[in-house]
Chains A and B, each alone.
Chain A
Amino acid sequence: MNVIETDGLGKRYRQTWALRDCRLTVPAGHVAALVGHNGAGKTTLLRILAGVVTPTAGTATVLGFTPGSQQARDAVSAIDQTVPLYRHLRVRDQLAAARELNDQWDTDLAVQRLSSLNLMTSGKVGKLSGGQQAQLALTLALARRPRLLLLDEPLASLDPLARQEVLGWLMTCVAEDGLSVVFSSHVIAELERVATYLVVLSQGRVQVAATVDSLLDSHLALTGPAADAGQLAGQVPVITAQRTGRQAQVLARTDTAPPGWAARPVTMEELVLGYLRESAARVLPRLEAAR
């Protein structure tokens, strides 16, 4: 069962296409990371899936339902990057309002989480720090007991310790409740630990969409003589290549090292950075001299 399916999905704002011809199939039970340059279309995609933006072209389904439909709203929680909350309310009123607005609500979870975070329920939401607001939003999102969680840079405003703790809590929900998560992130270091599915967007189009395991299995970091770097493109699909004097470092989509090249497995970080650099990701690379 796929948690997300999109086909030819596109969104145009006036003259620019924020998202174009987007085709994705994310299976259930994954923690999917959405990566891309600023303006690549991550927020637009997440907002369409959440049901707060209507696509201009194509279709999308979440858990098999149309985004914005009743069933989708019941089963999917989404936190926008603006962390929308009723900022002029007190925390306890925000909590009460969220409870009234939802069919399923786990009061114990919400109350315990807030007290463990030392969030004063009498304070105003708007007076909380950015990180505390993000924590509150996450609490509200998970108290709804969703099957799918959509997060747009949710941890950006959290300090490192809070970040660690929140990720840990999220992973526990994944482990215990079978929650599927799609989150956009700039912090690549977290991806290898947390993500099992990777989507890379570039200029509104999907560049990479695969499980992390299959990506790590199918790519190699090759080291070899710079002189041979040009020929390499003909032998294996090269993603990026960097020349330093006599040596070249190449990221290639292959599981076999070609003769004359030393290979080692790639890390997630190298893989993601490689694809981000090479937005076309064609078989013929643009060899770039190291700066």
Chain B
Amino acid sequence: MVTDKPDNFDDEVSPIAFYLDRGLGVPTYLQLVHQVDYALRLGFLRAGDQLPRIKDVTRSLAVNPDTVMKAYRELELRGIAAGRPGVGTFITQAPAVVGLKQMAALQKKLTTWLAEAAEAGVDELGMKALFTAALRDFSGGGAASRLPGRAEARREGGAA
């Protein structure tokens, strides 16, 4: 096997390349899952595209191949990707994406909320804290996701 510069690897088979944010505190495999999700939403990945090969990811990111396999399995469970033995893992369908018009309306509502908070004297950090706490509670993450019997919720991954 010829030694290439890591940057070239993923470009050969997949439109995207993975990266790791070690300071995030999020498990590695989840980061990969989120990056695929994000890429799908932004249109970098489309149905039929191939995800980076496991061995390419392990080489460039220095992660255990099990971790990548875990991420791809998670994507399979969510119905986003499917593995083809001997070939690789491919995107089967993009997740249901919210329409552009809805997105614009939501953003307007959010701006209104931000103005209210600013008027109440909340600064930027305070706004972030409020939003993060609400998001956490809303997505059922944290302690609730770890309760036995909530296996599905657990697979969604506890928010860090």
A residues adjacent to B (C-beta < 8 A):
31, 112-113, 116, 164-165, 167-172, 174-176, 189-190, 192-196, 216, 220, 255-257, 261-265, 267
Contacts and interface: CB of A to CB of B under 8 A. Distances in A.
Contacts of B84: none
A267 B25 contact: yes
B132 interface: no
A3 to B, nearest CB: 15
A265 B61 contact: no
B16 interface: no
Contact of B146 (A174, A196, A255): A255
A180 to B, nearest CB: 12
A112 to B, nearest CB: 6
Interface of B: 2-3, 6, 20, 22, 25, 27-28, 54-55, 58-67, 142-143, 146-148, 158, 160
Which of B3, B55, B58, B160: most chain A CB closer than 10 A?
Answer: B58
Contacts of A169: 59
Contact of B143 (A165, A170, A216, A263): A263
For chain B, what secondary structure do more than half of its interface residues adopt (helix, strand, loop), or is it mixed? Answer: helix
Contact of A262 (B6, B67, B143): B143
Given A168-B58, A264-B158, A174 B64 contact: yes
A192 B58 contact: no
B54 to A, nearest CB: 6
A265 B64 contact: no
B58 A265 contact: no
B142 A220 contact: no
Task: Identify the 10 closest CB pairs spanning chains A and B, nearest first.
Answer: A167-B62, A175-B65, A171-B58, A257-B143, A263-B143, A168-B62, A116-B3, A168-B59, A193-B63, A172-B59
A172 B160 contact: no
Contact of B63 (A113, A171, A257): A171
Contacts of A262: 142-143
A263 B146 contact: yes
B148 A193 contact: no
Contacts of A190: 62
A168 B68 CA distance: 13
A165 B7 CA distance: 12
Contacts of B63: 171, 193-194
Given A112-B3, A256-B147, A171 B59 contact: yes
A193 B59 contact: no
Contacts of B61: 168, 193
A170 B28 CA distance: 18
Nearest to B63: A193
Which of A112, A172, A255, A256: most chain B CB closer than 10 A?
Answer: A172
Given A164-B62, A192-B28, A262-B142, A175 B55 contact: yes
A263 B2 CA distance: 47
B59 A174 contact: no
